[in-house]
Chain A
Amino acid sequence: MIAAERLDHTGATGTGDTRSAPGETVAVRRLTLTDFRNYTALRLDLEPSPVVLIGPNGAGKTNLLEAVSLLTPGRGLRRARIADMDRIPDTGRRDGSVGISGAGWGVAAEVDSIVGPVQIGTGREAGSDRRSVRINGAPSSAQALSGYLGAVWVTPQMNQIFLESAGSRRRFLDRLIFATDPAHAGRVSSYEQAMRDRARLLKDRGPDGADKTWLSALEAQMAERGVAVAAARLDMTDRLGRVAAEGFGPFPGAVVAIEGDIEALLRDGPALAAEDAFRERLAAGRAQDAVAGGAGVGPHRCDLRVRHLEKDMDADQCSTGEQKALLMALVLAHARLLSAERGAVPLLLLDEVAAHLDETRRAALFEAIVEFGTQAWLTGTDESVFAPLAQSAQAYRVAGASLQAMGQATGP
C-alpha cells in the first residue's frame, strides 16, 4: 500500500531533480571501450550533435551503438549475454587459439545527463557473469542509470516487432518509459524478482505445501509493484497516443493502446482496488501457476497494440514498409513528447534505419533530429545518404576497429 508512494519518493533520491531545464541536451561526450566486442581500446571525444557512423558490414558500427545502449538499464540493443561482449582475440595469434578472452570488458562514458555531467562505467569483471555499473566512480545498479539518461533504439531486428511475441513490444514500451521515469526500471525488475521467487516456492513445495503467509507476502509485493508498472505503462501509452495520433510529417499516424488485465483494472477503478483484485487473482491461480510456472495474470502479460491510423489497420496486418514507418513514427512521437514535456530528448540509436527510408521520410527524420537537438547515432554503409546532415552532425568512418573523423563537422 505504501510501496508506490515510497518508490516514487526513493526514485528521486540520489538522482536529484529529474527534470532538466528546457533545451538541455543529453549527450555522450566521451566514450571509452576496452575489450568490448571487436574493439580492443577505443576513445571517442564527441560533441552533443548527431553522430554518423559509416562503414562496411562487419566494421563494428552496431557494436558501438550497443556500447552506448549499455549506458542505460537492461541488456543493451542486442539483448546479448554479458559474457558475449568480451572481445574474442584474433585468430592465428600465439597458440592460434580462438576463444573467450574471459578477461571482461568495459564501457566508460562522460555524459551530459539530465542532471548534469556524470561519469558512467559499466562492464563485466573477470569471473563474474553480471554487469557492474559505476556512477561517478561509486558502485551502483543498472536501474539507477535511468536517472541520468535515456536511450531509444531502432535496429534491423526490430523490423519484426509487430509480428513477434508481446515481450518485444513490452520491452520497447518500457524503454520509452525509462527515458521519463527513473523509477520504472527498478519497479519492473523488482516485480519480476517477486514473481520468480513465488514461482520457485510453488514449484518446490507445491500450492498446498508452500507456506501460505509467505506466498501472500510475495503476492503482495507483486501486486504493489505490478500495479505501479502497469500504471506507468498506461500513462505512457496515453501520453504517447495523443502525440502519435497526429502523425509525424510523412510518417503515418498511429493509435496505441495497452492490452492487459491489470491495465484494464486500473482503467476501471482506483489503484488500491486494482492491487487487491490482482492479489486475489494470484491467490486463486496458485494451483495453475504451480503447474504452468510463472504467473497466469499480471503486467508481464500485457501487450502494446499499435494501429495504422489512416488505414485503420492493425500494425501486424500492414506491409513491411508500413510497419517500419509506424515504428519510426512512434519513436519520433516519443521524442516530440519528451521534447515538449521536459526539453530533454533521449539518445536515439538508429541502426541502418536511414538507408531504408524513402527520401521524403529520411529528410523528415533528419529535420526532426536537428530540431529536437538530440544526439542521434546513425549508422549506414553509404555516406551519401547522410549528406543532408553534413552541417549538423559529426561523421566517422568505421574500419578495422577504429574510427576516423570525416569532413569538417567534427571539430569543436
Chain B
Amino acid sequence: MNEIERVIQLLSRLPGLGPRSARRAALHMINRRESLMQPLAQALKDAGEAIKICGTCGNLDTADPCGVCSNPARDGTILCVVEQVADLWALERTASFKGRYHVLGGVLSAIDGVGPEDLNISALVERCSGEVKEVILATNLTVEGQTTAHYIIERLEPTGVAVTRLAHGVPVGGELDYLDDGTLSAALQARRALG
C-alpha cells in the first residue's frame, strides 16, 4: 500500500466517511498540500501528543484535570453524568450548566459485552461520597441509556446524593449529541427528581 492509499484507508475509518468520500477528502488535501495537508498533519500530531483523559471526570482535554474540573467557578456539588465526551461537549455548547461532569464511557449492554466494570461507575460512586450533593443523569433515552441510569440510581442510593433526570423532549431512542442547544438547555432546566 502506498502513502496515498494509506491516507484514504485511514480516513475511511472516520464516522460518516465511506471509501468514496475518503478519496475525495484525500484528493482535496493533496491539492492543498501546504495550506491544509501539512498543517493538519502537524495539528493532529500535536493533539495526539497533548490530549489527556481527565482522571477526575473522563473528559478529553490537554490538561489533567480538565478545564471544567479545574475551573474554580464551576459548582462542584452538582455532577452531570453523560455517556460520552461528545455529550459533555454538547452540554458545554449550551453554556447553561455550571456544575461539573462525569463521563461513563458507554452504556450497559450485555449484547455488546459492556458491563458495569467497563464503565466509569465506581469512580462516580467515589466522587459522590465527597462534596457532591446532586447528580443529574443525562444518559440517552435508549433502552441501554435508561438501564444504565437505573443501575446508577441504585448504586448511588447509599451515598444519599439527590439524583435527577434530564427531562428532554427527545423522541425515544434520541441521542443527546443530536439535540439542538435550545432543547438541551430547556431539558437541563426542567430536570426532575427521581424517587
Contacts and interface: CB of A to CB of B under 8 A. Distances in A.
Contact of A13 (B144, B147, B170): B170
Contact of A7 (B116, B167, B172): B172
B110 A201 contact: yes
B122 interface: no
Nearest to A194: B143
Given A196-B111, A197-B111, A217 B148 contact: yes
Contact of A221 (B116, B146, B172): B146
Chain A interface helix/strand/loop/mixed: helix
A220 B171 contact: no
A221 B150 contact: yes
A183 B110 contact: no
Kindly state the interface size class of chain A when it binds its partner: 20 to 34
B34 interface: no
Contacts, number: 77
A3 B172 CA distance: 10
A193 B142 CA distance: 10
A238 B143 CA distance: 29
Nearest to A15: B171
A197 B174 CA distance: 19
A196 B111 CA distance: 8
B67 interface: no
Contacts of B110: 197-198, 200-201, 204, 214, 218
Nearest to B154: A213
A196 B174 CA distance: 20
Interface string A1-36: 011001101110110000000000000000000000
Given A9-B169, A14-B171, A194 B147 contact: yes
Contacts of B143: 190, 193-194, 197, 221, 225
A141 interface: yes
Given A193-B143, A200-B111, A220 B150 contact: yes
B151 interface: yes
A214 B169 contact: no
A144 interface: yes
A379 interface: no
A217 B173 contact: no
A194 to B, nearest CB: 5
The winner among B110, B146, B148, B169 for most chain A CB atoms within 10 A is B110
A151 B194 CA distance: 38
The winner among A2, A10, A217, A225 for most chain B CB atoms within 10 A is A217
A212 to B, nearest CB: 9
B171 A211 contact: no
A9 B169 CA distance: 8
Interface string A126-166: 00000000000000010110000000000000000000000
Contact of B154 (A14, A204, A217, A225): A217
B141 interface: yes
A209 to B, nearest CB: 11
Contacts of A201: 110
B130 interface: no
Contacts of A213: 116, 151, 154-155
B111 A11 contact: no
Given A193-B143, A221-B150, A214 B172 contact: no
B151 A217 contact: yes
Contacts of A11: 171-172
A221 B170 CA distance: 18
A392 interface: no
Given A213-B155, A221-B143, A183 B172 contact: yes
B147 A211 contact: no
Interface string B137-172: 000011110111011001100000000010101111
B108 interface: yes
A214 B171 contact: no
Contacts of A186: 171-173
B55 interface: no
A3 B141 CA distance: 10
A119 to B, nearest CB: 18
22 contacts: A3-B146, A9-B169, A10-B169, A11-B172, A13-B171, A14-B171, A183-B172, A190-B142, A190-B172, A196-B111, A197-B111, A197-B143, A197-B147, A198-B110, A213-B154, A214-B151, A217-B108, A217-B147, A217-B148, A217-B154, A220-B150, A221-B150
Given A2-B165, A190-B143, 13 more contacts: A2-B192, A6-B167, A10-B171, A11-B171, A14-B171, A186-B172, A196-B111, A198-B110, A201-B110, A214-B108, A214-B147, A220-B150, A221-B143
Please name the 5 residue pairs, one residue from A and one from B, whose CB atoms are nearest each other, closest first: A217-B150, A201-B110, A200-B110, A217-B151, A186-B172
Interface of B: 108-111, 115-116, 141-144, 146-148, 150-151, 154-155, 165, 167, 169-174, 192, 194
Interface of A: 2-3, 6-7, 9-11, 13-14, 141, 143-144, 183, 186-187, 190, 193-194, 196-198, 200-201, 204, 211, 213-214, 216-218, 220-221, 225
